[in-house]
Amino acid sequence: MTEADFVVVANRLPVDRDADDNWRRSPGGLVTALEPVMRKAEGAWVGWPGQPDLDLEPFEFDGTQLIPVSLSTEEIELYYEGFSNDTIWPLYHDVIAEPRYRRPWWEAYVRVNRRFADAAGEATAQNGTVWVQDYQLQLVPAMLRETRPDLTIGYFHHIPFPAYGLYSQLPWRRQVLEGLLGADVIGFQRVADAGNFARAVRRLFRYETKSSGIRVPEPDGSIRIALAKAFPISIDAEAYVELAARKDIRDRAREIREGLGNPKHMLLGVDRLDYTKGIGHRLKAFGELLSEGRLAVEDVTLVQVASPSRERVDTYAHLRDEIELSVGRINGDSDTMGHTAIRYLHQGFPREEMVALYLAADVMLVTALRDGMNLVAKEYVASRADNRGVLVLSEFAGAHDELRTAVSVNPHDIEGLKDAIMQAVEMPAREQGRRMRALRRRVLEHDVEDWSREFLAELAASRKPAGSK
């Protein structure tokens, strides 16, 4: 294995294994964003191959060296399902679900983070750069700095960072901050997330902060500046524009509407089936609009795509039951022989089908209770080259900071949400165009390549001359 100058460390490798054991590029935005950077830098990617007990040698995929980190069934349960997705995930999403604090989960998280850090250390050349991704690996920056002080280390946090009043619940709150402070640049989605992080550092360690810089004392008594700043992530906007222009996809959008009986209004929700997404609130508001007669089932259909996620975590299994009960009730109360209120799909779809859905939908409902960014909102906007369609967007999604001309909602306020849905359904074409043009300008002007370029430029600028402290 040759050492690389640029190494990404993420919980998952950027590939999935299909039924015939062939590797395919994963569809996610991060993978697309980093692909050109990885190729140019002849980089390496350290990550879990997505299945238990898979002990694989490093291999090359599309010009990138992939370095698999093996996880046992027990480690997946404790580190991934437990600490990452049943402690950190609910805590960092403002305790929408109750976080569980289990010492064996924490111990596994430390062990597995160490394994990722060691693999990254071995893969990176002298004075190279490592970019650590997301909340599953918050301890990796400091672990790496300890063994490889020559490296430049970046970390990007894809989910929210909570206010101190919540963060302080975490029994290992000091260790996690210490882990993150090992990075030279710590990137967040929103200015508010970076602020929450800096405040937690001030409260727990009394370190001084000045604008984005945090003064971190080193063991030898010197001071190192770690930057904590917002770098809002985006999508490969051009790819969506191109897909939306394809004839087969436009035809498919028409076919989708025909399949629904050509309703006057098609509403759309697209989410991982996660309690942070506010799917229940959305269904409640829609159900009440139908039962109160403000919307008629003959005129409107809500298509809800809820892709399966983290199904072995109890909270997720319960959520599925809850959502499916609501869908059944609303449909049972409102459907006619010829019309269905909610077309619910517990499935994932390829990007082409998603764009066809975006083109078919008059109204896109993003009602997250808390969300790091929400890229679905940006995908919808990028796909609407016709400047039609209305985005209803929660104040609690990171994307809300940028997408100012969306119809803004507080999803907890069910009456407000109902009014927002009615406003979207009834919005005149001119107003749709005015709002959508402004949304598109933002998404097309700041795509995911700009995101990675800006982060990496800041990281390169933070690099000290070789040999200095």
Chain contacts with ligand F6P (rule: CB under 6 A): 12, 134, 158-159, 309-310, 372
Which is closer to ligand F6P, CB of 148 or CB of 158? Answer: 158
Q: Identify the helix (H) or strand (E) that includes residue 456.
A: helix 448-462
Q: Whole-number minimum distance, CB 61 to ligand F6P, in Å?
A: 18
Give which of 237, 188, 190, 230 is closest to 32, Cα–Cα: 237
> To the nearest whole angstrom, how small is the minimum distance from the Cβ of residue 309 to ligand F6P?
6
Least gap, CB of 458 to ligand F6P (angstroms): 21
To ligand F6P, the closest distance from the beta carbon of 68 in angstroms equals 15
CB of 118 to ligand F6P, least distance (A): 21
In 3-state terms the chain splits into helix, strand, coil percentages (rounded to 5) of: 45, 20, 35
Nearer to ligand F6P, 155 or 286 (CB): 155
Judged by beta carbon, residue 179 or residue 389, the one nearer ligand F6P is 179
Torsion of CA 170, 176, 177, 183, to 10 degrees: -160
Beta carbon nearer to ligand F6P, 281 or 310: 310
Name beta bridge partners: 15: 25
Q: Are 126 and 150 within 8 A, CB to CB? A: yes
CB atoms within 10 A of CB 19: 5
Q: How many residues does the chain have?
A: 469
Closest distance to ligand F6P from the beta carbon of 441 (Å): 25
CB 263 within 8 A of CB 297: no
Provide the token pair at 236.
């490969």
* Residue closest to ligand F6P (Cβ): 158
Using alpha carbons, select from 194, 171, 181 the residue that is nearest to residue 138. Answer: 181
Q: Which tokens belong to 162? A: 């909570």
- Least distance from C-beta 319 to ligand F6P, angstroms? 14
Q: Considering the complex, state which of residue 138 and residue 326 has its C-beta at the smaller distance from ligand F6P.
A: 138
DSSP one-letter code for 397? B
- Cβ nearer to ligand F6P, comparing 138 with 462: 138
| Of residues 161 and 286, the one with the C-beta less far from ligand F6P | 161
Closest by alpha carbon to 218, among 148, 137, 154, 145? 145
